[in-house]
């Protein structure tokens, strides 16, 4: 009984210390394990991989550094794939901070080997921030050129053959919020819709993938690692390309942190039950 009482009274600082040691170990010397890629992410990768050079996509990036751990690795993996396929990008956001975060990360990826030195206005345009999500999506669906007219991008090569949203191969969202809901409501099957979301947003979006409204779905840090794994399988180390990055680096620390959480919850509850039994029988 004393053992269970000791577990129940365990100083939480000890758990924090164990957590720090586990995470530090996985950062310094991570365990390498094979990755089983989700079918949702495989479908997402395949839909983008089927695109041809010169195709255009709308990428709506609504994440900021508050979800950097999941969204940044997702966004960068997506940019690597689009750049290698030479797909042109219209970058937009409904978050005032997110568009600058996306721009910085896009420019960072563009400098990597094998990513075709993407240039502003030649290979991608910054559609910028739209404060009203409903009017923005309504405008993109009904008259994309009118919606983007005030952004100074219509005369660029990216927009050359884009007269309607259906001329774009896909709308791809990288988001930490429910911003994709407006697209579900107003898309009208104009083009493909794909999603990179945080883990907490997965449950409400999986039904849209199951129904076919999403052509693919990457969820959280695992989704980013899945996408990196598929990039590695396709491109390997040719031209010094970076395929495996932050998505994989997060997996070891995350896995061991969650393992500690589960162990603590299980043994904490067992200890509580045993101490109560001991008290009631005495």
> What pLDDT score was predicted for residue 74?
97
Residue 29: both structure tokens together: 């010397």
More confident residue, 155 or 278: 155
pLDDT of residue 1: 67
At 122 the three-state DSSP class reads coil
Copy the structure tokens of residue 78: 């997506």
- Residues 228-241, mean pLDDT to the nearest whole number: 90
Residue 282: pLDDT over 70: no
Task: Specify whether the CB–CB gap between 114 and 237 falls below 8 A.
Answer: no
Band of the pLDDT at 255, cuts 50, 70, 90? confident
Range with the poorest average pLDDT among 33-37, 109-113, 227-231: 33-37
Checking phi first, is residue 143 left (phi over 0); if not, alpha (psi -120 to 50) or beta? beta
pTM: 0.89
| Mean pLDDT of the 20-39 span | 88
With a cut of 70, say whether residue 193 has pLDDT above it.
Answer: yes
Would you state the pLDDT for residue 202? 94
Confidence of residue 109 (pLDDT cuts 50, 70, 90): very high
Task: Tell me the average pLDDT across 223-241.
Answer: 91
Per-position b or e across 152-184, b if 16+ CB within 10 A of its CB: ebbebebbeebeebeebbbbbbbbbbebbebbe
How many angstroms separate the Cα of 56 from the Cα of each of 49, 134, 158, 179?
13, 22, 7, 21
């Amino acid at each position: 009984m004393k053992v269970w009482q000791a577990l129940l009274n365990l100083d939480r600082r000890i758990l924090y210390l164990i957590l720090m040691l586990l995470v530090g170990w996985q950062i310094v010397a991570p365990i390498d394990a094979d990755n089983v890629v989700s079918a949702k992410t495989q479908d997402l990768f395949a839909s983008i991989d089927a695109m041809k050079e010169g195709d255009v996509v709308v990428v709506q990036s609504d994440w900021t550094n508050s979800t950097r751990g999941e969204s940044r690795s997702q966004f960068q993996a997506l940019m690597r794939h689009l750049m290698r396929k030479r797909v042109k990008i219209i970058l937009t956001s409904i978050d005032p901070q997110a568009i600058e975060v996306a721009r910085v990360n896009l420019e960072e990826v563009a400098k990597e080997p094998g990513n075709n030195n993407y240039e502003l206005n030649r290979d991608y345009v910054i559609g910028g921030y739209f404060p009203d999500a409903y009017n923005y999506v309504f405008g993109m669906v009904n008259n994309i050129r009118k919606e983007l007219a005030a952004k100074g991008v219509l005369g660029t090569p990216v927009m050359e053959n884009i007269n309607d949203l259906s001329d774009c191969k896909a709308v791809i969202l990288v988001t930490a919020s429910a911003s994709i809901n407006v697209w579900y409501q107003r898309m009208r099957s104009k083009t493909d819709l794909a999603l990179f979301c945080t883990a907490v947003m997965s449950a409400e979006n999986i039904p849209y993938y199951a129904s076919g409204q999403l052509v693919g779905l990457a969820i959280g840090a695992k989704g980013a690692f899945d996408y990196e794994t598929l990039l590695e399988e396709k491109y390997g180390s040719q031209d010094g390309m970076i395929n495996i990055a932050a998505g994989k680096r997060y997996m070891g620390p995350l896995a061991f942190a969650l393992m500690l959480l589960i162990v603590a919850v299980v043994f904490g509850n067992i200890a509580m039950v045993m101490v109560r039994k001991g008290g009631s029988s005495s």
